[in-house]
């Protein structure tokens, strides 16, 4: 599980950074990737990345402002020309379907794959055997949602040394034990799954927050998350402007990560007033004063989502 940024700017693109889009790579877990937001030019960013649109399985829109949305019709159209034949589901606030219906019909765009648009107003919006995705309303000029992606716990590994001491060699009974079923060997020895299966592996949690100023809705989404992606449109010297425009400062993002007990924080959605990486370093510094495990998002960079294990302290 990895995060890959395709756009980290707020409002408008610059020569250095594109507008918002982030990919959650699930190549080992699902052989696919998910995308959060799709600002103008995202498909061009994909062409410069290791991602392939044919592997895009789900796309989540946080809100219907153009810097998070204007790249969507073009990307959906191009997906079919880049090997995308499998189903694609797009999730977002009410109004998303009308936007896509008009854009694709007026442009006579042909979508040669199953496309489903799911409008939601928060809550549990997706769940299967491996993952669930929850959405929560934030505080912005229009309805804006954050997403909490939870990887479900996976069964622990078998204690193979102990099994061999029972005389049980690898085979079908191993599979039953891993599923939690007790088994009996040919010699009549009862082996209890609870005694030979290690503790389950904790699933990872990734929180992707859309545009928001500090509000109560962020905490449940970010609670105990392994990775929190939070907007940091301004430095804290512009806190008044951030509040006026319904955005957050880097320090406010760090306060949320600290209060939520998160493991790591990635700052993104930077104002175009910060034109260089060096100009973003003060935002990083102010965030790290409160939450040391903070990084700046960088386009075309991969950020692994580490699994928290016993003794694995956040930031270590």
CA 57, CA 117: separation in Å to the nearest integer?
12
The answer to whether the Cα torsion of 219, 221, 224, 226 is positive or negative is negative
* 65 labeled binding residue: yes
CB atoms within 10 A of CB 178: 15
Plot region of 224 (φ>0 → left; ψ -120 to 50 → alpha; else → beta): left
* 247 labeled binding residue: no
* 211 labeled binding residue: yes
Establish whether 67 is a catalytic residue: yes
* 37 labeled binding residue: no
Please name the residues in contact with 72: beta carbons below 8 A apart, sequence gap of 6 or more. 38, 42, 59, 61, 90, 100, 103
* 243 labeled binding residue: no
Helical residues (DSSP H) of the chain, grouped into ranges: 42-47, 72-79, 96-106, 160-165, 172-178, 193-196, 218-222, 239-244, 250-260, 277-288
* 140 labeled binding residue: yes
Q: Where are the beta strands (DSSP E) in the chain?
A: 2-7, 21-26, 32-36, 56-60, 88-92, 115-119, 123-127, 131-137, 145-151, 183-184, 190-191, 205-208, 227-231, 265-268, 294-296, 302-304
Helical residues (DSSP H) of 31-138, grouped into ranges: 42-47, 72-79, 96-106
Tell me which of 67, 101, 153, 224 is the catalytic residue: 67
* 224 labeled binding residue: no
Residue 96 CA from chain centroid, whole number: 20
CA 43, CA 315: separation in Å to the nearest integer?
33
Please name the residues in contact with 188: beta carbons below 8 A apart, sequence gap of 6 or more. none
Distances (CA, A) of 155 to 28, 139, 225, 298: 16, 38, 20, 34
Residue set of the binding site: 63, 65, 67-68, 140, 211, 269
Active site residues: 67
Residue set of the binding site for Zn(2+): 63, 65, 67-68, 140, 211, 269
């Amino acid at each position: 599980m990895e995060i890959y940024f395709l756009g980290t700017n707020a409002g408008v693109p610059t020569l250095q950074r594109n507008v918002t889009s982030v990919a959650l790579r699930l190549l080992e877990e699902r052989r696919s990737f998910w995308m959060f937001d799709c600002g103008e030019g995202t498909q061009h960013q994909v062409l410069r990345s290791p991602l392939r649109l044919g592997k895009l399985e789900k796309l989540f829109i946080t809100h219907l402002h153009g810097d998070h949305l204007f790249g969507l019709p073009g990307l959906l159209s191009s997906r079919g020309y880049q090997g995308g034949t499998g189903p694609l589901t797009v999730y977002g606030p009410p109004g998303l379907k009308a936007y896509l219906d008009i854009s694709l019909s007026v442009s006579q765009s042909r979508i040669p794959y199953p496309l489903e648009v799911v409008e939601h107003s928060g809550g549990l919006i997706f769940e299967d055997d491996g993952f669930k995705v929850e959405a929560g309303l934030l505080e912005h000029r229009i309805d804006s949602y954050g997403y909490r992606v939870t990887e479900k716990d996976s069964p622990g590994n078998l204690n193979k040394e102990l099994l061999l001491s029972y005389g049980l060699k690898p085979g079908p009974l191993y599979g039953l034990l891993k599923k939690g079923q007790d088994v009996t060997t040919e010699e009549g020895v009862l082996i209890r799954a609870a005694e030979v299966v290690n503790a389950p592996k904790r699933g990872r949690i990734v929180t992707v927050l859309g545009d928001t100023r500090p509000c109560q809705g962020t905490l449940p989404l970010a609670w105990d998350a392994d990775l929190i992606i939070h907007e940091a449109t301004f430095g804290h010297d512009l806190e008044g402007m951030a509040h006026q425009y319904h955005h957050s400062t880097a320090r406010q993002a760090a306060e949320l990560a600290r209060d939520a007990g998160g493991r790591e924080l990635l700052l993104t959605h930077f104002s175009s007033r910060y034109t260089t990486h060096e100009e973003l370093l003060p935002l990083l510094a102010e965030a790290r004063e409160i939450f040391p495990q903070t990084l700046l998002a960088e386009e075309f960079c991969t950020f692994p989502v580490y699994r928290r294990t016993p003794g694995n302290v956040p930031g270590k």
